[in-house]
Structure 1
Amino acid sequence: MKQHLKELSLGVAPVFILISILHFTITPVGAELYFKFILSSIFVILGVSIFLYGINVALIPLGKDISSTLVQKGNVKLLLIFGLIIGFAVTVLEPAVLAIIEQLPNNFPFSKNVVLYVTAISVGVFILLSFLTILFKIPIRHTLSVVYGLIIILLILADEQIHSIAVDVGTLTTGSLTVPFFMALGSGIAAVTAKDSEAQSSFGVVALSSLGPIIAILILGVISRWL
């Protein structure tokens, strides 16, 4: 916990110093707003430190234990269903995803709820796909080659205004909550089945989970273009 507090304090310090310099020199923001900024900086340090502590103490070990136990007991179908559901559920609750979807333009061809649930489903599907990649020992480069090839095709076919939205949504699905848990699940499977190191397999899970939403949003772009 102390280490997290130290690291976050060092991370926030440059931003705090820069804004303070600007406030007292060329861009004063007002005493009330500056005071709120000071309080917010303290809350960020404390809150994220507690969050990271909880991630390391409970969430990561839990993810590893669940996935490795299911594989050891031969409950592969249950593991895949679990990956699908957890990928969906965690994405629906991911603050970064909710934030960017709220910023979608009013003329976007699909509702915000449709985009949110399509994104969440795609993450769940690609978590399942990443589990299969580990279980069947398929080299990650082969899977990524196919997925990136599909993305290139969809970029050609989809409405151009969708491109940047798809990439941004895909990037933000790998947030502070999803990344450690997905990596932990991959590590648990890899510890039982994979020849490669746990870390390599874990990063494969994260990579695929971020590509799923890109494909899903681009498919929406293709649909909107041809309807």
Structure 2
Amino acid sequence: MQDVKDTIKEVVYAILPITLVVIILQFTIIWLPIEMFLQFLVGVVFVSIGLILFLLGVHIGLLPVGKMVGSALPKTKKLWVILFFGFLLGFVVTVAEPDVRVLATQIDLVSNGEISSNILIYSVALGVGIFVALAMLRIIFNIKIIHILILGYGVAFLLAAFTPDNFIPISFDAGGVTTGPMTVPFILALGVGVASVLKGKASASDSFGLVALASIGPILAVLILGVIFG
């Protein structure tokens, strides 16, 4: 019951400020048609209910399962199993990420279908999956995250020199949307599970940085798409 109360408070604190701002603007500057303003209020209610249910599902289901999967993988003592399922989980959870689908739909719209939503979604998911697998390698072999970040962004800036200009902002937006409410909790829980088994609970902080690494993958994937389509 306490989790439910905390989740409701979290959603209210997140949505209330923007709702108040729009209400103030409505009666001072913008004066939207009454039908549109009522649609906004109904949308706020639906979004609030949806976020509460979604976050409860994350805390009840995704986080425990992600940690359990992460704890089970190292016990196989097979590197390829850890890397394969790290890649697979990173891929499928990104395909399910709502933020990625919103971005893909908007890009499909503004590009008049030149960049289809499906191509973008699966390219971004592929990039996340590959870098989640690399993050597993980092935990296993104790590789410093700074080295991977420098290499990853170095390649990104190199690819940007050969990519059409319109793909560059899309690529960095793609990196941002993968840090959404579906991907981040699962990937962090997965990393905590792997690190806690391989290095003990005291070193579970090694799991942090997975999101930073995972966000590089979509950037590189979209830049490569730009090189191909460009």
After TM superposition, the score normalised by the length of structure 1 is 0.90
Q: Corresponding residue for 2:111? A: 106
Aligned length: 224
Whether 1:167 and 2:209 are equivalent positions in the alignment is: no
Residues 108, 218 of structure 1: alpha-carbon distance in 2 compared, 3 angstrom cutoff: farther
Distance 1:108 1:46 in 2: 33
CA distance in 1: counterparts of 2:41 and 2:111, whole angstroms: 34
Q: Is the contact between residue 70 and residue 76 of structure 1 (CA under 8 Å) also seen in structure 2? A: no
Give identity over the alignment, percent.
Answer: 39
1:108 is displaced (CA, Å) by 7.0
Counterpart CA distance in 1 for 2:167 and 2:29 is 39
Question: Is 2:83 aligned against 1:77?
Answer: no
Task: Give the alignment of 1:151-190 within 5 angstroms.
Answer: 151-190=156-195
CA RMSD of aligned residues (A): 1.9
Residue of structure 2 equivalent to 1:37: 40
1:115-147 deviations in Å (ceiling 9; x for gaps):
222221111111111111111111111111111
The equivalent position to 1:117 in structure 2, one of 112, 116, 122, is: 122
Q: 1:50 to 1:73 in 2, by over 3 A?
A: same
- SS of 1:138's equivalent in the other structure is coil
Partner of 1:134: 139
Q: TM-score, normalised by structure 2?
A: 0.89
CA distance in structure 2 between the aligned counterparts of 1:140 and 1:56, rounded to whole angstroms: 27
In structure 1, list runs of 5 or more residues that go unmatched: none
Deviations 1:157-198 (A, max 9, x none): 222221101100111112110000000000001112247732
Contact 1:127 1:208 in 2 (8 A): yes
Q: Is the 8 A contact 1:171 1:210 kept in 2?
A: yes
Matches of 1:108 and 1:41, distance apart in 2: 30
* 1:25 is aligned to 2:28: yes
Which amino acid counterpart does residue 26 of structure 2 have in structure 1?
H
Is 1:145 aligned with 2:150?
Answer: yes
Query: Distance between the aligned counterparts of 2:133 and 2:44, measured in 1?
Result: 38
